[in-house]
């Protein structure tokens, strides 16, 4: 694999008990899925890393777009890496791959994350949970965008369309198909929807940062279920 930052070859080494890929030129580190949390945890337990002096709850949080850096691609699968604020408020901007869930840290950033966690030991456990959402290593990821979730939502959607056609013909069926677009998009393409930043006209929100993938999936299923109740009312109480 080559370094996403400078293009040099990455060397696999074991550090802090974790096997990682390090660039000898720019000192960046590539972590496969799940490796970063173990690596940072070992650093926070080391006396070599001192806590930050800033106050945890007085930190001015910057959005990911405020970090002006070139776009990088995943050394593992070639997908574009997406920048995120580690644990949401550390202002340490790491980059992750939405496909393989690996994470890239530029030189010195891993030590910054360890100092961030070490500044208040009471927050370490909370921060690690938030990090797992960013890495995709939580139980909800197994459902997002995978065959069971997609197949089930497709079966339900087909049932809705048949119900709409039986109740009021092709006109209601077409209208129902349009209303199913957003919930099915959230369920079938949760990765892509989660990485979207910009104006979402239908929901009236402007997204300045990425959304946790499981929230996109949950939102899609809620919309799909609510649409079923709405269709039932239209089919049975209107003529």
**33 and 75 co-located in one domain:** yes
Indicate the residue among 135, 159, 190 that finishes a domain: 135
Distance CA 213, CA 143 (A): 10
Same domain, residue pair 55 and 172: no
Mark whether 130 and 149 lie in a shared domain: no
Residues 185 and 114 in one domain: no
- Say if residue 19 is in the same domain as residue 86: yes
131 and 146 share one domain: no
* 182 lies in the same domain as 99: no
Cβ atoms of residues 92 and 85 within 8 Å: yes
Q: How many residues in the chain? A: 239
Q: Exposed, middle or buried by CB within 10 Å (0-12, 13-18, 19+), for 2?
A: middle
Is position 147 within any domain? Answer: yes
Specify which residues 80 forms β-bridges with. 73
Those residues whose C-beta lies under 8 Å from the C-beta of residue 231, and which sit 6 or more positions away, are 160, 163, 164, 176
Chain centroid to Cα 220, Å, comes to 15
Q: Which of 135, 157, 178 is the last residue of a domain?
A: 135
Residue 195 lies in domain: 142-237
> Residue 103 pairs with which residues in a beta bridge?
31, 96
Please indicate, yes or no, whether the overall pTM of this predicted structure exceeds 0.85: no
Contact 111, 39 (CB under 8 A): no
Dihedrals φ, ψ of 155, to 5°?
-65, -45
pLDDT, residue 56, reads 44
Q: List Cβ neighbours of 52 (8 Å cut-off, separation of 6 or more).
A: 115, 116, 118, 119
CA 197 to each of CA 78, 84, 86, 181, 217: distance values in angstroms, whole numbers, following the listed order = 21, 12, 18, 19, 16
Q: Along the 239 residues of the chain, how does pLDDT read in single tens digits? A: 899 999 999 999 887 778 889 999 999 999 998 888 888 878 777 665 555 544 444 456 666 665 556 789 999 999 999 888 887 667 888 999 988 989 999 998 888 888 777 665 544 544 554 555 555 544 444 444 456 788 888 889 998 888 888 877 888 888 888 999 888 988 888 777 777 666 554 454 555 567 777 788 888 889 998 888 888 777 655 54
DSSP 210: -
Whether residues 178 and 88 share a domain: the answer is: no
| Same-domain check for residues 204 and 122 | no
Residue 91, number of CB atoms within 10 A of its CB: 17
């Amino acid at each position: 694999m080559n370094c996403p930052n400078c293009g040099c070859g990455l060397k696999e080494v074991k550090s802090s008990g974790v096997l990682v890929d390090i660039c000898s030129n720019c000192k960046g580190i590539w972590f496969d899925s799940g490796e970063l949390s173990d690596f940072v945890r070992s650093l926070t337990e080391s006396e070599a890393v001192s806590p930050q002096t800033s106050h945890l709850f007085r930190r001015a949080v910057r959005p990911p777009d405020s970090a002006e850096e070139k776009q990088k691609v995943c050394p593992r699968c070639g997908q574009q890496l997406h920048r995120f604020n580690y644990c949401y408020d550390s202002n340490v901007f790491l980059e992750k791959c939405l496909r393989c869930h690996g994470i890239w840290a530029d030189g010195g950033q891993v030590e910054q994350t360890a100092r961030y966690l070490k500044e208040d030991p009471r927050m370490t456990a909370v921060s690690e949970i938030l990090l797992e959402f960013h890495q995709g290593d939580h139980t909800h990821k197994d459902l997002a965008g995978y065959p069971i979730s997609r197949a089930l939502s497709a079966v339900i959607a087909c049932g809705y369309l048949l119900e709409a056609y039986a109740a009021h013909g092709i006109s209601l069926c077409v209208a129902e198909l349009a209303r199913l677009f957003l919930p099915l998009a959230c369920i079938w393409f949760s990765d892509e929807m989660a990485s979207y930043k910009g104006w979402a006209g239908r929901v009236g929100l402007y997204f300045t940062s990425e959304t946790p993938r499981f929230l996109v999936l949950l939102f899609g299923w809620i919309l799909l279920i609510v649409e079923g109740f709405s269709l039932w009312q239209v089919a049975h109480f209107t003529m």
